[in-house]
Structure 1
Amino acid sequence: MVTTVYPGPAVYERRLFQPRVGVADAESIVSWVQGERLYCDVRSTVAPDGRRRFRMGFAGPLHHHPATGEVEWEHAIAAGAAFGAADVGRLAPIPGWGLLETGRDLDYVELWERDETADGPVLEYLGRDERGRAGLFVSVGDRCGLALADDAVEGRPASVHLGRRRGHEWIAQHTAWASDPPFGFAITPGPGAGFSVSWRTGAPTTADIHFHHDWSTP
């Protein structure tokens, strides 16, 4: 049986994307927060002013398929440009450095460097609000990912955000929302393994969102 590594909680930065046919992607900046089961991934480009600009992001459960030796990043919540293919591949450890990923459908190689400064307690929540909209939060130490499905009532498209802890709140540094300076938010555990998002200064919305626990996909 072909085996693969199921990554433990960590934060990774992509250092190489090389398709078998074509040129390497030297433009995208990709960051990945991986919890015990949930993940959050944001892909950006660098604008002429040197700032990081959101291009796409996705989040959800990371599945392991023992029969094929593959892992699958389920895009339970996706924002920005379309990914355009199944996100399935194999992972192999690079001792003392990170991971080597080889793709199935896209036939590529990626190198992921583990951020050794991102270490500490893991929190992860996946739930739905009162209208059935999905929400996800995952954190490793002082790094986090937050993803919200689209909200037609409030007129907000789906969004994915990566950030860091600052005091008692999280600051979204790489985000689908235009926000300068970066906005803050707080995560509060709720009953039955649910959670709430409370917005801080700079957020484009003010109403708290409450999610009840739900490990199923949107």
Structure 2
Amino acid sequence: MQQVPQSYLGVWQRRLIQHSSGRSDSETAVYWLQTPRLFADLRIPPNSLPGLALEALSHAQRLALCEQKGFAGVTQVDADICQWHRKMDYQPVSGEEDIGRMQFETSERLLETALDDSYYEIWERLPDSLGVCRGQWLQAMDDPSRQGCLLLAGDYFLFAASRPTPLTPGGHLREKISPQNSTALLACELSFGRHHAGRAPWQIECSTLPANAGQCLLPSSIDPFAADLFADETVMPSLGSVAPAQGWRCMPDPRQQT
């Protein structure tokens, strides 16, 4: 399977999205981590939600979490066309393609334009994301339908894990949840942060789970550059806030086409 060009690797932070309708957004925290094949993308709107477990949030606060976005999968680049094949998604599967025309304004500044010109986005690469760049696709040992990945680029990581309770396709997440099922349906984790080269715990900076911000994904004893990181028996059993009962196993990268 073809790898994406070296120029795309690292963590890209979105600075602006401008829609043809006139609507724009520069406030949502958006991070796209790209490895040679796998990617993950996290989008957290500005809010004042407390850093509490899902169970401790009010139903109104849980509804606010429904505005988050996040997805992971494999990236395909053909000339100036980039397509992100989503294999897990925080929102219900829509069937729509995630594809854009890319232009490098500089090596560290990337412009993405919709094929129908309905929007454009400005992305800037985080300097500390250059360096070792790799990722591993994961599957729950006790549930083949539950997917995840751990991606690293320079000093950054992004861990993604689908929810234990799948969503039905179509619509918006807010349409799926109720006071009875919201905790289960919001338990999709995308956590982004820095690993400090193993000199300190892997600290989460932002996450789809509010209680994760400021917490640690992994302890400092886990070397992010270790060759056997993804086979480490101290990592795979308990990775993530809603880890599978029997832990994760490593899987080949998903295919591009759904």
Class of the TM-score when normalised by the shorter of the 2 chains = 0.7 to 0.9
1:126 maps to what in 2? 137
1:141 maps to what in 2? 154
Shift in alpha-carbon separation, 1:39–1:125, aligned structure 2, 3 A: same
Match of 2:89, as an amino acid? A
Q: CA RMSD in A?
A: 3.4
Q: Which has the higher helix share?
A: 2
2:175 maps to what in 1? none
> How much has 1:85 moved relative to structure 2?
4.1
**CA-to-aligned-CA distance 1:159-181 (integer Å, 9 cap, x gap):** 21111114364222211112166
Match of 1:109, as an amino acid? Y
Following superposition of structure 1 onto structure 2, how do residues 161-180 of structure 1 map, counting pairs within 5 Å?
A: 161-166=191-196, 167=198, 169-179=201-211
Following superposition of structure 1 onto structure 2, how do residues 63-142 of structure 1 map, counting pairs within 5 Å?
A: 63-65=76-78, 69-80=80-91, 85-104=96-115, 107-130=118-141, 131-132=143-144, 133-142=146-155
2:247 maps to what in 1? 209
Shift in alpha-carbon separation, 1:102–1:206, aligned structure 2, 3 A: closer
1:28 maps to what in 2? 28
1:196 maps to what in 2? 236
**CA-to-aligned-CA distance 1:7-29 (integer Å, 9 cap, x gap):** 43111111111112232123322
SS in 1 for 2:25: coil
Match of 2:23, as an amino acid? V
TM-score in terms of structure 2 length: 0.67
Farther off after superposition, 163-172 or 24-33 = 163-172
- Measured in 2, the distance between the counterparts of 1:206 and 1:215 equals 20
After TM superposition, where is structure 1 displaced by more than 6 Å over at least 4 residues in a row?
A: 81-84
> How much has 1:50 moved relative to structure 2?
11
- Measured in 2, the distance between the counterparts of 1:83 and 1:43 equals 17
Q: Which has the higher strand share?
A: 1
TM-score in terms of structure 1 length: 0.78
How many residues are matched? 207
- Measured in 1, the distance between the counterparts of 2:212 and 2:194 equals 16
SS in 2 for 1:183: coil
Q: Is the contact between residue 35 and residue 134 of structure 2 (CA under 8 Å) also seen in structure 1?
A: yes
Shift in alpha-carbon separation, 1:75–1:179, aligned structure 2, 3 A: same
Match of 2:24, as an amino acid? A
- Measured in 2, the distance between the counterparts of 1:136 and 1:205 equals 12
- Measured in 1, the distance between the counterparts of 2:216 and 2:72 equals 19
- Measured in 1, the distance between the counterparts of 2:15 and 2:104 equals 15
2:16 maps to what in 1? 16
Unaligned 5+ segments in structure 1 are none
> How much has 1:205 moved relative to structure 2?
5.7
**CA-to-aligned-CA distance 1:175-208 (integer Å, 9 cap, x gap):** 11121663322373229xxx726458xx466967
SS in 2 for 1:196: coil
**CA-to-aligned-CA distance 1:112-156 (integer Å, 9 cap, x gap):** 011112222112001312221211111111101111112139x57
Match of 2:231, as an amino acid? G
Shift in alpha-carbon separation, 1:185–1:97, aligned structure 2, 3 A: closer
Unaligned 5+ segments in structure 2 are 52-64, 167-183, 223-228
Q: Is the contact between residue 15 and residue 112 of structure 1 (CA under 8 Å) also seen in structure 2?
A: yes
Q: Is the contact between residue 16 and residue 123 of structure 2 (CA under 8 Å) also seen in structure 1?
A: yes
